[in-house]
Structure 1
Amino acid sequence: MSQPIFRRSLLAATIASVMAVPAYAQQEEQTNENEFKGLERIQVTARRKSESIQDVPVSVSSFSADDLEEIGVEDITELQQRVPNTTMQVSRGTNSTLTAYIRGVGQQDPLWGFEPGVGVYIDDVYVARPQGAVLEVFDIERIEVLRGPQGTLYGKNTIGGAMKYVTKELTGYNELNLQGTVGTFGQRDIKISGQTALSDNFFVGGAIASLQRDGYGEFVNTGDENYNKDVMTGRLSAKWLVTDDLSVKLSYDKTKDESNPKGGYRLTSSQLTGEEPYDDVYDSNIAMPVENLVETEGWSAVIDWNVNENLTLKSITAGREGYTDTNIDFDSTGAGALLVPAIYQDEQFTQEIQALYTNNDNFDFVGGLYFYDGEACGDFGTVLPQLGLTLDTGGCVDTESQALYGQGTYRFNDALTLTLGGRYTKDDKAADVYRYTYLGIHFLNQPGDWGAPLIVNSDFSTEADWSRFSPHASLSYRLNDDMMLYGSYSNGFKSGGVDMRADVSLNPDAQNPYDPEIVDTFEFGMKSDLLDGRMRLNAAVFYSDYQDMQVTVQRAVTAGVASQVLNAAEATVSGFEIETVLAVTDSLNVNAAIGHVNAEFDSVIFFDPVAQENTDVSDVWSFANTPEWSANVGFSQSFDSSIGQLVWNGNLAYRSETQIFEVPSMLDMGGYSLANTSLNWLSDDGKWNVGLHVKNIGDKIYRLAGYNFAAPRDADGNRTGPGLGGEDTIVGYYGDPRTISLSVGYKF
């Protein structure tokens, strides 16, 4: 009952505030016509060029470094609370693997053979894998979240949208920033950043952060910490102004995460030990070493050449690589029913040549060539101690991709603007896959000869290639200086691939590659500045046709039931987003955002091994990680005093019921709200700042992800036999409890 009440209350409050503003503003204008200063102008690069967010016919949210520091954001997953129709959270059993969904499109499984649906970019460099993509927020310029397919300018795997992480620009000024943070659960963070000029035309900068925290819980049977944090991250950069028109920027970053692997919370009693679920959702058991390592590093070289006042050429050369060595105890009993040690390795090289042409009269164009060469490898064991078996699954996927893209904007007059663009992409993939079944209990790092496999489930190589043209068109009309209406069509695709878990001993067809997913989206929106610049109100409605969705389907074979990834689903996704901010006074801003997604499967062809026939299960399936409603309301109030400026802010974020997987399960989470508040002090000279941040004030327990390998049950829900490995494995992973932190910073 609480969900519709919240929605009606939020909608009523939003409408009431909007309706009341004109009368209130008129009264204030009669008192003091010049009291309001208006809202700050926001610049974004959503279309690969710098422009006001109000001029961009794209649904985009932007957060500056000051915004993020004021509310105490530590990593990008916290933006989930503030961006409508968006999911950004830490994946199950990990600390730094990203699960990202926008408007129902994302990546459920972070296996190296599958591609993301939301693109992550660090300074316009694509990050291909979700491992290590939970980026820490430090030394940045801003973060932009683009919603809807971005296939023309950003390429494949952005059919849900894109997140742009923009680091701080080098200016040549001498800067040194120190910040220390202490908080609950033993939080102790140190961040140091700075830059300087070595000459009139050569600047250098760097940042380093140590982020430490004790666990929210523990592995009860070993005493080790669970949900702890142990991260070191750093960045170096240099900028050379070769001439007035030519510059070169070099960047390097590295992150090392040695936090313990996360243990899940059992939702049911153990079939092996009889233990009941713990009282604390952050407590668990583990039958594996608490060793975990995630390392990522990247470099880039960006050359900007202003050929003349109209034409700029840019070269972006970059490389990234990552390594993960982790242990995941799926059943979380300590008895060891389903243990998964895993190693992931990936590397990528990208080269982009970009041209930006601007005719100040009526025409802009951005286009270029893009090359990607990447290899993603992995090896994970499925260790079943109760059965005395180990399945070793692994292989590599090599991907080469080339793209040619261009997008032009023509202004017919001051009011009407047309944008047309397209991108042609060609993907080539080659995969090697193996899957062996061994007698005995083996781990990936266990020395010695495992002996000959009991079963060679898979050992094959395959190749595939795809090509796709992704068009884009938008038409915008400016009613006046303060309001723009737009309509757009965008197409995008998620790359095809190979099932790295394929078991050809059960299903020979499992080695066949699956094709790309395709999304066509129509969007109509409004960008407006109202009340003489004191109110910003942006809104969009969208409709998406989702085709050839990649799903894992079952096939009955002689030896049992085998799975295979097929393009077996079609869906439609529609909804709307509204974002607004109002400067009530010079010192008080209120903001609100609401998103609604109606995502429905039209067809999901699934083989029923009992009925021995294909059946449509679209009436059973629902979209994962896609709440129907998401909302956020907040405020920011500043106070001037003799000792500096105080800024108090707070927000209340709501997400409606969320299904963890496509099929309903015990893991599904009901709707919940999270409240946060911060109090910041800034000295008059701008050098000192202190921030007190309280997150999840109500200490709400909310589940984000889980593993569902449930034991068979009868119609009444009673277990009728053992689950995989002899255990009923239904475990959940949870968001952060209430935390309090105090940060002190000094700028030299």
Structure 2
Amino acid sequence: MKLSVKNIAMSTVASITILAAGGVASAQDVDETEVVEDGKARLGTIVVTSQRRTESIQDVPIPVTAFDETLIADLNLNDTMELAQYVPSMIASHNAGLASANSYWIRGLGNTQSVATFDPPVGSYVDDIYIARQNANNYAFLDTERVEVLRGPQGTLFGRNTTGGAVNVIMAKPGEEFGGNFEVSAGSYDRYLVKGTIDAPVSDTVLTKVSGYYLTDDGFLDNKATGDTLNGAENFGLRGDVRLLPTDKLTVDLAVEYFSDTGTYLGVVGLPEASSTYQTTTTPVFYDTYNGLPQTDCDGDVVDILLIEEAGNCALTETIGLSGKVSYAATDTGSLDIIFGRRSFDSAYINNYSGSSMNPYAGYILADDTQNEQESLEIKWDDSLFGGRFRYVAGFYYLNESTDYDTNGFSANASVDPTGYVTLSSNTFTHDVETSAVYLQGDYDIVDQLTLTLGARYTYERKNLDFHGSARFDGMGFTSADLVAEGIPLELEENRVTPRIALTYTATEDLMFYASATNGFKSGGWNGNAPSPNRVLPFDPEITWSYELGTKGEFFDSRLRVNANLYSIETEDLQITSGVILPGESAIVSLARNAGTLEAQGLEFETAYVFNDNFSGFLNGAIMDAKYSSVLTTPGVPDSSQVTLDTEPVRTPDFQLAGGITYDQAVPALGGNVRSTLAYRHNEPYYVSTLNTSRAPTEDYVDLSIGYVHETGEWGMELRGTNLTEQETITANFLSLFPGQPRRFNLKLWVNF
């Protein structure tokens, strides 16, 4: 059959593919006759739920980027970590040492700390269920319908700690017919990936789906000290979905999933000379490390593994998730959703953070284990009144979360024992969170072309902290009684209302303008990594106001889409972390505290264009100016470790650009289509350390893919190269400089059935 242009679906990142992966149209595709009416290719409708109801992205007065299943396949995105490459004002990297944990930064708001007492300002959601801890937020794409990245505070509808934004993954639901897909790929550094999904309906009212994947990667970091290769992984996951359709009005979705992630993320060796490129005191050597600790696995007690096997540089994060959604169309206009979930993970790692210590006992070694359980419930009502002139969403939200944290720090001390470990710190604590909220947001059409949006969320939250001392070493650590003696509270409470107001003007059917003011907050907490009880200081909530002016439009008979927005944000009591050795202490700690007020202004734009039946493209970008307008002094911290008015906010490049073009051509002699995609990404330099001790250079990336799709859409293949410019960059600085990905090549084969 002849292959026609399908939905070029992306919130304005635009799907740069002409047809969906494997020839399967995405869930958001409009009817093909609408897309190619009168023989001309057009942009398809993109459906999102960024306001917690189904809408066209062009009608939503929020800056949001949506990746559908077509785009995820076309850009070869394998997990949520890789999304940020194409989202304006967004930077992402793994947490130092732990590849299962993603550090998302949007408009200068982010977090590199996975300790439970510090919350991420960019919320992670799967099927609208909040993932509370950053340790396990790098979500692998099994059978994903779409991902929505919302920029700016989402204080009303996604209100849990989202001062920076939200990443919401929506999984595909079981299909009504038997079928599925299978994919296998092989690439550089012995990277192999196998994944697939099967839809297997039991009856018209009971639909089921099973999805899974297995990934192995030897890693790209060459350890000259031991001969190991680091920054690899052996990951796998399995998910099962059931959809029950007992009546026309009632839908019940249930899912269970399990993920195992062993990915590590360690730093390179630094030559003892300053680097002007990276503004560091050492010069990184890509992609080598001199990390004396031999590699093993973390399947067991991590402290015993380190001290008995004298090995480490490993990680293991295991996650189990149960979720459900009950949807009931109660009236012609109103629907009720009950969303519930339970998630738990165990995240253990042994990391030597020094990339320049041949001695296996030297450097700074952490052997940590985090266990977390969370339960959440949301009840949401969506309805309209007055003949549809007033549309509203109202709901109740509840989350209960508990984390047990066991941390142990080691190094060598030549004056004591250069061939054995010296325990620098050891402690355990339990961190409990209980939060509930009610929210309401309504859109009222003042006149046909002018809509007023008003919303607010009331949140109550209580946090409890309980230190237990060291579980392993006598005389180490401290207890809650020691905190009480220092006057440090063991409970924090918060009551807060976060409002939103917006005006939307619909100039024509294809052009709208909006203005909004949105408030969000991120919870306060404690400096949980502190080496002594007097350092476990509480910090205040982070509060953000964002003001937006935006437009969304389609032109030239829906062949060009342009979405753009101006924003200005002010974040008071900005929460930061930085590695500091405090006076009188021997161990480096990631110190959490309030830094002051962050101000940022910028322009963001996302465009998509269908040139003709063969060519499509996109161009996205952002201009940002961020600064500290006031700063707070942290008691007991040296002047060299204080934030000043001259300190530049981290991960705030002045300019970003991402663009791509796809060529798709039917070749009858080959019995299918040949397509090629060329993508380019650019970032101006930006600091990756809070105290400006390291900076990523100007970044320029080029990716290229060449593929074939059989005319039946039943199978295809693709050869892809990423980072063809061999761009060398750094993403973090914690005793070592942590490298970005090297150049990679990958060959993929897929089939649909």
Unaligned runs of 5+ in 2: 1-35, 274-281, 294-310, 417-421, 485-489
In structure 1, how many angstroms separate the alpha carbons of the residues matched to 2:58 and 2:477?
63
- Is the Cα–Cα contact under 8 Å of residues 603 and 617 in structure 1 kept in the other structure? no
- Is the Cα–Cα contact under 8 Å of residues 265 and 282 in structure 1 kept in the other structure? yes
Match of residue 463, structure 1, among 468, 479, 491: 491
Q: State whether structure 2 residue 626 is matched by structure 1 residue 591.
A: no
**Aligned-partner SS, 1:95:** strand
User: CA 1:458/1:487 → structure 2, altered by over 3 Å: closer, same or farther?
Assistant: same
Q: State whether structure 2 residue 554 is matched by structure 1 residue 529.
A: yes
Match of residue 519, structure 1, among 544, 556, 575: 544
How far did residue 603 of structure 1 move?
1.2
- Is the Cα–Cα contact under 8 Å of residues 319 and 349 in structure 1 kept in the other structure? yes
Q: State whether structure 2 residue 656 is matched by structure 1 residue 653.
A: no
How far did residue 611 of structure 1 move?
9.3
- Aligned Cα RMSD in Å? 2.6
**Aligned-partner SS, 1:185:** helix
- Is the Cα–Cα contact under 8 Å of residues 457 and 503 in structure 1 kept in the other structure? no
Unaligned runs of 5+ in 1: 1-31, 271-275, 437-443, 708-728
In structure 1, how many angstroms separate the alpha carbons of the residues matched to 2:638 and 2:319?
47
Q: After superposition, where does 1:82-231 map in structure 2 within 5 Å?
A: 82-231=86-235
Give the structure-2-normalised TM-score: 0.85
What residue in structure 2 maps to residue 328 of structure 1? 351
Match of residue 48, structure 1, among 49, 52, 57: 52
What residue in structure 1 maps to residue 718 of structure 2? 691
How far did residue 34 of structure 1 move?
4.7
In structure 2, how many angstroms separate the alpha carbons of the residues matched to 1:611 and 1:292?
33
Question: Percent identity among equivalent residues?
Answer: 26
What residue in structure 2 maps to residue 440 of structure 1? none
Q: After superposition, where does 1:634-713 map in structure 2 within 5 Å?
A: 634-642=660-668, 643-665=671-693, 667-707=694-734
User: CA 1:562/1:243 → structure 2, altered by over 3 Å: closer, same or farther?
Assistant: closer
In structure 2, how many angstroms separate the alpha carbons of the residues matched to 1:435 and 1:623?
35
Match of residue 743, structure 1, among 745, 748, 752: 748
User: CA 1:233/1:485 → structure 2, altered by over 3 Å: closer, same or farther?
Assistant: same
What residue in structure 2 maps to residue 341 of structure 1? 367
How far did residue 38 of structure 1 move?
1.4
Match of residue 314, structure 1, among 330, 333, 337: 337
The amino acid of 2:268's aligned partner reads Y
Q: State whether structure 2 residue 420 is matched by structure 1 residue 392.
A: no
What residue in structure 2 maps to residue 283 of structure 1? 289
How far did residue 636 of structure 1 move?
1.3
How far did residue 504 of structure 1 move?
4.7
How far did residue 607 of structure 1 move?
5.1
What residue in structure 1 maps to residue 17 of structure 2? none
How far did residue 218 of structure 1 move?
2.8
- Is the Cα–Cα contact under 8 Å of residues 427 and 476 in structure 2 kept in the other structure? no
Give the structure-1-normalised TM-score: 0.85
User: CA 1:262/1:78 → structure 2, altered by over 3 Å: closer, same or farther?
Assistant: closer
The amino acid of 2:572's aligned partner reads Q
In structure 2, how many angstroms separate the alpha carbons of the residues matched to 1:199 and 1:552?
53
Q: State whether structure 2 residue 307 is matched by structure 1 residue 303.
A: no
Q: State whether structure 2 residue 572 is matched by structure 1 residue 547.
A: yes
Range that drifts further, 216-225 or 153-162: 216-225
- Is the Cα–Cα contact under 8 Å of residues 484 and 526 in structure 1 kept in the other structure? yes
In structure 1, how many angstroms separate the alpha carbons of the residues matched to 2:405 and 2:698?
36
What residue in structure 2 maps to residue 265 of structure 1? 268
- Is the Cα–Cα contact under 8 Å of residues 408 and 423 in structure 2 kept in the other structure? no
Q: State whether structure 2 residue 382 is matched by structure 1 residue 356.
A: yes
The amino acid of 1:104's aligned partner reads G
Q: State whether structure 2 residue 461 is matched by structure 1 residue 430.
A: no
What residue in structure 2 maps to residue 3 of structure 1? none
Q: State whether structure 2 residue 386 is matched by structure 1 residue 382.
A: no
What residue in structure 1 maps to residue 510 of structure 2? 482
- How many residues are matched? 673
How far did residue 522 of structure 1 move?
0.5
What residue in structure 1 maps to residue 26 of structure 2? none
- Is the Cα–Cα contact under 8 Å of residues 227 and 282 in structure 1 kept in the other structure? no
User: CA 1:71/1:135 → structure 2, altered by over 3 Å: closer, same or farther?
Assistant: same
In structure 1, how many angstroms separate the alpha carbons of the residues matched to 2:223 and 2:528?
31
In structure 1, how many angstroms separate the alpha carbons of the residues matched to 2:151 and 2:637?
41
- Is the Cα–Cα contact under 8 Å of residues 72 and 678 in structure 1 kept in the other structure? no
User: CA 1:216/1:34 → structure 2, altered by over 3 Å: closer, same or farther?
Assistant: same
How far did residue 596 of structure 1 move?
1.5
How far did residue 558 of structure 1 move?
8.7
User: CA 1:33/1:702 → structure 2, altered by over 3 Å: closer, same or farther?
Assistant: same
**Aligned-partner SS, 1:619:** coil
User: CA 1:686/1:456 → structure 2, altered by over 3 Å: closer, same or farther?
Assistant: closer
How far did residue 678 of structure 1 move?
1.3
Match of residue 440, structure 2, among 388, 406, 409: 406
How far did residue 453 of structure 1 move?
3.6
**Aligned-partner SS, 2:189:** helix
In structure 2, how many angstroms separate the alpha carbons of the residues matched to 1:611 and 1:511?
17
- Is the Cα–Cα contact under 8 Å of residues 620 and 659 in structure 2 kept in the other structure? yes
User: CA 1:566/1:208 → structure 2, altered by over 3 Å: closer, same or farther?
Assistant: closer
In structure 1, how many angstroms separate the alpha carbons of the residues matched to 2:698 and 2:67?
26
1:51-96, Cα deviation, whole Å (9 max, x unpaired): 1110000001111111111121122222222111001221222221
How far did residue 559 of structure 1 move?
8.6
User: CA 1:141/1:457 → structure 2, altered by over 3 Å: closer, same or farther?
Assistant: closer
In structure 1, how many angstroms separate the alpha carbons of the residues matched to 2:563 and 2:107?
17
